[in-house]
Structure 1
Amino acid sequence: MKILEKRHDDLFSGSEVWFVRPDHIDDVFRVCVTSNAAPVPAGGDRASLVIATDAELSGGALRSLVGSGAVGLDLPPLYAVSVGYPLDAEPPFVVRRNRDLTPSAWPAFEPVMPAMTGASVSMATGGADAYLAFLDEELKPALAEAFPVDPDDATLTGQSFGGLFVVHALLTRPAAFRRYLAGSPSLWWNDRETLRRAAEAVADSPAPSAHVYLCIGELENKARFGRQFGPMLPEAIRSLLPAAMAAGDMQGDFFVLEQTLREWKGEDFSVEAHMFPEESHESITGAMLSRGLRRLYGYV
C-alpha cells in the first residue's frame, strides 16, 4: 500500500485523513482516522481498532460516538477508522462500493446503481476478497505503525452492502478481526449466496474466535422494501432490477443468518442479534454503531 497524502481533518479536530493506493486495487481510498479522548494506558498497551466501511455514510456517526463514548465511559480506548473514497471520485462512492463490498460478480446488478444515481459509468462487482485483503494485510499494519493500536484487537463494521461484506469477511477470513458488527446485511445479493456459504462454513469449519453482532431495522420489512424498489421507482430503473433484489426479504434472510450462525459452537464464539424498533434501512446506522460497539466491547 502506498500512502499518497496525509492531512488533518478540517471538520473533526484530532482526526487525520489518509489517501492511499492499495497494492492490488487500482484505485485511491480515503481513510479517516480518529481516536477517543481516553488515554491509552502506560506500559505498552495499545488501543483497540474499529474499521468501518462506507466513510461517506458512517464516518460522522462513528467519530461522534467514539468521542462522546470516552466521556461517558461507554467505550474503551479506541481508534476509529472509516474507509471510503475521495470526495470528488468519479464514478462516486455509491458505484465504487458495489465493486469493493460484494463477494461475487453479478453482472445483472451492475447497471442498477448508475441508473438510480445518474452516474455515467458502472463498475464490475465481486471485489470483496481484494478489499478484505487490503484492510487486513495492508491497512491494519500501516495503522499499527502510525498509531498505538493493536491490529489483533480489531472490529469490522458495515451496513447494507457493508453488512454483507462484514458477513463475508467472517466466513472467509475470520481471524482477520476479533469482532464483527453487521447492520442490515444485503443477503439477497446474487440469489442469497452468502446464506448458502454461511451454512457450508458452519457445517465444515470450526467456529472462529470471534464475537458477532447482527442488527436490522423494524421497518426493513418485505412490504416496505418491495415498495421502495417497486412502485416508487421509474419503470426504466425498475426494469433493470434483478428479481432477487426486487423481491428481497431483508428480515427473513437476517433471521436465517442468525439461526445458521448460532449453530456454530465454539468456546470463544458468540452471536447476538437485535431488531431496532422504528428504524429503516436508511436510518439504522447510528443505532447500529452505538448499540453494536457497546455490546461487543462489553459496555452495556
Structure 2
Amino acid sequence: MTRSFHRPRRIVLLALAGGAFLQGCASSTKSMIAAPSDQPIPPTNLDLSTYSLNRPVGKSVADVGSPHYRFEHFKLESADGKRHYRVQLAVPKAPPPAAGYPLLLMLDGNASFASLTEDQLKHMADSNRPVAIAALGYETHLGVDVAARSFDYTPPVPGEDPTWDDEMRKRLGGGADVFLDLLEQKMLPEIRRRIPSDPARTTLWGHSYGGLLTLYTLFTRPQLFPRYAAADASLWWHGGFILTVESKARAVTAGRTTELLLMAGSSGLEVQNETRALRPGLDPAMVLAARERRRSVPPDAAPKLAERQALRQGMAVTWKPFPGVSHGPMRPASIPPTLEFAAR
C-alpha cells in the first residue's frame, strides 16, 4: 500500500515500484519509493482511442451489478438550462460507520464511472473500507458532453468576456464558479441526502480538465472539501492560468489538515517532443495549436506545484508519478490510489 506522511508542511514523493521519479524535483524534498497500489489496476490498453471522451462509454459496473454495492442516479440541470447532469451513485451494501461512509466525488462522471471495476469494489468491501462514490456526469451516452465540460471545468479569466476554452472551435470556458455553485448548493446536498457520508472524509477527484477544476476548487474554495485528488491536471490551460490562481490561493480551513493527492503520467514530457503524424480527418491547424498550448508549461510543472503546495500551512501533499503512462490511460490508472486515499 502507498505510504505517506499526513501532516501539514510535509510532502512525500512516491513512485510506482520499479519506476523512476520525474526529473526536476528539488533535492531538498523528502522522497520514498512506494509499493504499487493494493487496489486492482486495470490493464493499460495500447489503443488510446479507448480513452477518448467522445466515445460511447458502454456498460459500467452499475449495468452489470455487484454483490457489494447498490447503484442509483439522479438528474438535474444548470441554472440557465443549458447543461444537463446525471449523477451516478455507488453505495456500499455494508452498514455505514457512525459518521457515514467516506465519499468520493468523481468529475467526468460518465467516463470515470465506466472506469470503475467490480474487482475494485470487491477489494474495498473485503478490506472493510468501502467508499461511497458519486460520479458527476452528463446526460449523454458519451464519455462527456464536451461543450458542457469545457465550460464547467475551466475558470474565468479576468479581462476576458467571454473566456474561451477553444476560440477556434467556438467552445466557451470560464464556468467553473457557476458549476461549483451548483455542486455546493444542489448536487452535494442531494448526494448527502441519499448517502450517509462523512464530510470530514470527502474527496474531490478529477482527471485532465477535471484535475484542473479540482485544483481550482482547492485554491478558491478550500473549505468545500478536506481532500483533493488531481490526475494529469491540465495545468497548461490558458498558458498556465491555474498557476496564477495558485499564487493567490485562499488559506485552507483552520483546525484541520487539507490533503492533496497529485498524480501525473508522462504526457508532460511527451508533448514537448510530439512528432506523431496527424490522424486522418483532423484539422492540422487545430491540432498544432492544441500541441502548442500544451507546451506552455514545463514538463516538471506538476511536481513543482506539489512542492509549493506542501509548503502551505495546513496542507498535506502526496505526489505520485506514473512513469510511462500517457494522458488518456492516466484516468483509470489514477483511480486505485484515489480509492485508497479516499478510504483513509
TM-score by length of 2: 0.70
Q: Which residue of 1 aligns with 2:20?
A: none
Structure 1 residues 135-144 or 14-23, which shifts more?
Answer: 14-23
Distance 1:88 1:231, change over 3 A: closer
- Aligned partner letter, 1:38: A
Question: Contact conserved, 2:204 with 2:228, CA < 8 A, in 1?
Answer: yes
Match of 1:61 among 112, 115, 139: 115
Residues 181-190 or 252-261, more deviating = 252-261
**Alpha carbon RMSD of aligned pairs, Å?**
3.0
Alpha-carbon offset, residue 237 of structure 1: 2.1
CA gap of 1:88–1:142, structure 2 versus 1, over 3 A, is: same
2:311 pairs with one of 237, 240, 263: 263
Which one of the candidate residues 132, 146, 155 is aligned to 1:94?
146
Consecutive unaligned residues in structure 1, runs of 5 or more: 1-8, 115-121
1:85 — aligned with what?
138
| Inter-partner Cα distance in structure 1 for 2:135 and 2:298 | 25
- Shift of the 12–67 alpha-carbon distance from structure 1 to 2, 3 Å rule, reads same
1:121-162 Cα offsets, whole Å, 9 max, x none, are: x44101111111211221111122222223453110000000
Could you tell me how far 1:180 is from its partner in structure 2?
Answer: 0.2
- Report the equivalent of 2:246: 198
Answer whether contact 1:213 1:296 (CA < 8 A) is retained: no
Q: Give the share of equivalent positions with the same residue, in percent.
A: 24
Contact preservation (8 Å) 1:157, 1:180: yes
Establish whether residue 274 from structure 1 lines up as the match of residue 330 from structure 2.
no
Instruction: Give the whole-Å Cα distance in 1 for the aligned partners of 2:238 and 2:104.
Output: 28
How far residue 56 of structure 1 moved from its aligned partner, in angstroms, is 2.5
Q: Does 1:49 align with 2:98?
A: no
- Of 206-215 and 281-290, more deviation after overlay is shown by 206-215
Contact 1:188–1:249 under 8 Å retained in 2:
yes
SS at match of 2:201: strand
Extract unaligned runs of 5+ from structure 2. 1-61
CA gap of 1:228–1:143, structure 2 versus 1, over 3 A, is farther
Q: Compared with structure 1, are the counterparts of its residues 103 and 81 closer, same or farther at alpha carbon in structure 2 (3 Å cutoff)?
A: same
Query: Is 1:220 aligned with 2:274?
Result: no
Q: Which residue of 1 aligns with 2:59?
A: none
Aligned length: 273
Query: Is it true that 1:38 corresponds to 2:94 in the alignment?
Result: yes
- Does residue 241 (structure 1) correspond to residue 297 (structure 2)? The answer is no
* Aligned equivalent of 1:27, options 83, 90, 93: 83
Tell me what 1:124 maps to: 172
Q: Distance in 1 between matches of 2:252 and 2:145?
A: 36
Q: Does 1:251 align with 2:251?
A: no
Give the C-alpha shift of residue 190 in structure 1: 1.1
Do the aligned partners of 1:53 and 1:158 also contact (CA within 8 Å) in 2?
yes
Aligned counterparts, 1:98-247, within 5 A: 98-105=150-157, 109-111=165-167, 122-201=170-249, 205=251, 209-217=257-265, 219-224=266-271, 226-227=273-274, 234-238=283-287, 240-241=289-290, 243-245=292-294, 247=295
Instruction: Give, in whole Å, the separation in 1 of the partners of 2:203 and 2:325.
Output: 23
Deviations 1:147-188 (A, max 9, x none): 222345311000000001000000011111111000001011
SS of residue in 2 equivalent to 1:289:
helix
Q: What residue in structure 1 maps to residue 334 of structure 2?
A: 288
SS at match of 2:248: helix
Q: In 2, distance between residues paired with 1:65 and 1:194? A: 35
Offset of 1:35 from its aligned partner?
1.7
Flag the 1:37–1:146 CA change in 2: closer, same or farther, 3 A. Answer: closer
Structure 1 position 109, deviation (Å): 4.0
Q: Which has the higher helix share?
A: 1
Q: Give, in whole Å, the separation in 1 of the partners of 2:188 and 2:268.
A: 36
